[in-house]
Chain A
Amino acid sequence: MSDFSFWVILKNLIWATQWTIALSLIAFIGGGIVGLILLFLRTSQVKWLEVPTKLYIEFFQGTPLLMQLFLFFFGVALFGIEVSPWTAAGLALTLWTSAFLTEIWRGCVEAIPKGQWEASASVAMNYIEQMRYVILPQAMRIAIAPTVGFSVQVIKGTALASIIGFVELTKAGTMLNNATFRPFLVYALVALIYFCLCFPLSWFAKRLEGKLNVAR
């Protein structure tokens, strides 16, 4: 009997993991796109663009992700729009991710020597062209390791979507615990699955970082 429920628990958890992965992908890809746009705004040297992007980043980095989820979940509903946990979680996690990626990438852009900006300016390239052809290709190399590293934070961040009722790995764990009353086993398995998702990425990020340091 107890053996039976172990396999049932594991099977259900693994099934729920697909939604953790899906939500992570949405947040990471969406956050990457928004983050890239913000990166352009943030590094453009255009003063009036700088303040709003700074505020945006400050808000999403300076408040709990859980609050952001609540705000999207309850806030949008105010306008009479029914928000599914999917929408709220997807949106909140995307914006949250974008704020962190922007800052990570800005650091990489700023690590590119000033001479590269000047040389590309001296051959008449404009800001977008400089970024596209000269700065980003170089910044990308150093950005890969911290970006992969941050993907681990995104996966862990999706666990909070369980709180607004999004059924992913953590929520499935809570539901299974309520059904089976085996919290130790359930949460140990949940943790193990997260570990299996995150550890390879962490390991990969560290390896990339090491490689880059040797290359320099």
Chain B
Amino acid sequence: MSLVSIRDVRKSYGTVEVLKGVSLEVEKGDVVAIIGRSGSGKSTLLRCINGLETYQSGAILADGIEVGGLHANLRELRRHVGMVFQQFNLFPHLTAAENVMLAPTVVNKTPKKEARAIAAEVLAKVGLSEKMDAYPSQLSGGQQQRVAIARSLAMRPKVLLCDEITSALDPELVNEVLRVVEQLAKEGMTLILVTHEMRFARDVGTHLVFMHHGKVHESGKPKEVFAAPQTPELQQFVSGIG
């Protein structure tokens, strides 16, 4: 069975249908890059997978757990599905290490010492060993985003959702974050990322999904899709990027 299985999901805000029947299968180790115009529903889809938004019909199963439904076990789900946000959303009152340790200690009841070791490990992975005791306000945007990634990794997620995690960064800080994500991909982490970095989507992604008007409009292997877009919408989108 797929790690994440999205079946004909529909979602409306009031009368506006934002997701119009989206289906997608994500296997373990996949790196799925989602691209598409602003407003095409990329963020909404990602947020549905993590239960931050509810949807009206269809089904999402992540790691075998049904996301929708009234009695969805969101807590169990979110222990296995991590999320990184465009605006980092670090906890400003906690240091980098404390940001990372919080969920393991509170949710998983990991002893402090062990959690501190986990924090050291994941912060090393994102290249921030020296910044363990820095507060978010003392870090650059790129560093903050890497701490946010580390915070998700500390829960040992089976899949990591990334929503335009470099869009809020100054251009010179984008690469340090992308390199971390690339490294994760190499290590076999399952990733679903919404991105505007086309080259990154092509080089790192194993799958490409082009969303248009709330639907998966075209998908396939990134290199093939970019080389020969089938639909006029994607052709336009790709050429529009330049």
* A–B contact at 8 Å CB threshold (below): yes
Which A positions have Cβ atoms within 8 angstroms of B? Answer: 113, 115-116, 118-126, 129, 133-134, 137-138, 141
- Listed A/B pairs (13) with beta-carbon separation below 8 Å: A118-B83, A118-B85, A119-B85, A119-B90, A119-B91, A121-B52, A121-B74, A123-B78, A123-B107, A124-B74, A124-B75, A126-B75, A134-B91
Is the Cβ of A115 less than 8 Å from the Cβ of B85?
yes
Taking a contact as CB atoms under 8 Å apart, the answer to whether A123 and B151 are in contact is yes
Cβ-closest 7 pairs across A and B: A119-B89, A123-B103, A115-B89, A124-B78, A122-B83, A124-B79, A124-B107
- Inter-chain contacts of B33 with A (CB < 8 A): none
Q: Residue B102 at the A interface, CB < 8 A?
A: yes
B: residues with CB less than 8 A from A are 50-52, 74-79, 82-83, 85, 87, 89-93, 102-103, 106-107, 148, 151-152, 155
What are the residues of chain B within 8 A of A122 when measuring CB–CB?
Answer: 50, 52, 78, 82-83, 85, 152
Q: Give complex CA distance A121, B50 in Å.
A: 9
How near does chain A come to B92, taking the closest CB pair, in angstroms?
7
Q: Which residue of A lies closest to B51 (CB)?
A: A121
Query: Shortest Cβ distance from A98 into chain B, in angstroms?
Result: 26
Tell me which of B74, B79, B93, B151 contacts A138 (CB under 8 A). Answer: B93
Residue of B nearest to A115 (CB): B89
Q: Which of B75, B82, B103 has the most CB of A within 10 A?
A: B103
In the assembled complex, the CB of A44 is this many whole angstroms from the nearest CB of chain B, namely 15
B52 with A133: CB separation less than 8 A = no
